[in-house]
Amino acid sequence: MILSSDELEILEVILLRGSSVNAAQIAVENNKELHVTITRLTDLACRGYVISPQKEQYVLTDEGKKVFGIQQVTKEHAKSIIAYTPHDKAFNFHVEHDVAHHMHAHSLQDFVNKIYRVDLKTIEFHIDNGDFEAWFECLGDQELTKKIAIMKKKNIIGEKLRLLLQNVIEQRCQELMELTEQTTP
């Protein structure tokens, strides 16, 4: 089924948030009127792309994730995504092309810890170049790859970008750890 641009924008907000999102928050983020957003959400729910576990709170269904090409993750796949990677597959932070930051991330949790320490110029450089998307794709995480692509499309910059990036990846680590029944990565 074909989705309108408004409907895709709504699904993007819900995907990026990763947890239940209030209809009013979606409307604000998409610069739309609340009643229009609620109408679109109701239609998306009828078609099985979102569910509303609480009044005016929405989450993406597996069918909704398929819109973005995201398949359901198995326990084994989740383990491989959050696993420690060898140095040759670690993420290497750079300040700019060919200027290494001398900081590496060997797992998603390690990545989150490093994001707190790198400067904003480094984060913006890697977002602009698609480096984070490429690394998450190499780890096999379609969902995280798509979330970063949405962040890039929204042209978020500065400290807001760092905080959103941290939140998105921390939340994803938590989801994957719960799926694998681990308490630490």
Above 70 in pLDDT, residue 168? yes
Residue 55 has pLDDT above 90, yes or no: no
- Supply the range of the domain harboring residue 42: 5-66
Q: Do 89 and 156 lie in a common domain?
A: yes
- For residue 50, being part of any structural domain is answered with yes
Share above pLDDT 70 across residues of the chain, in percent, rounded to a whole number: 96
Q: Which residues contact 107 (CB under 8 A, 6 or more apart)?
A: 82, 83, 84, 85, 185
Residue at 42 is within a domain:
yes
- Mean of the pLDDT values across residues 23-43? 96
Quick one: 60 and 97 in the same domain? Answer: no
The answer on pLDDT for 155 being more than 80 is yes
Could you give the number of structural domains in the chain?
2
Long-range contacts of 43-48 (CB under 8 A, 24+ apart): 43/7, 44/7, 44/10, 44/11, 47/1
Q: Which residues pair with 58 in a beta bridge?
A: 21
Whether residue 185 is contained in a domain is answered as no
Last residue of a domain, one of 40, 66, 92: 66
pTM of the predicted model as reported, rounded to 2 decimal places: 0.90
Q: Are residues 105 and 147 in the same domain?
A: yes
pLDDT at 161 (0 to 100)? 96
In a domain, 184, yes or no: no
- Residue 184: what pLDDT? 59
Task: Give me the chain's average pLDDT, please.
Answer: 93
Asked whether residue 18 falls in the same domain as residue 83, the answer is: no
Q: What is the CATH number of the domain that holds 59?
A: 1.10.10.10
pLDDT at 36 over 90: yes
3-state SS class at 3: coil
Residues 62 and 80 in one domain: no
The string of pLDDT tens digits covering residues 89-145 is 999 998 877 766 689 999 999 999 999 999 999 999 999 999 999 999 999 999 999
Residues 117 and 157 placed together within one structural domain of the fold: yes
> 185 pLDDT exceeds 60?
no
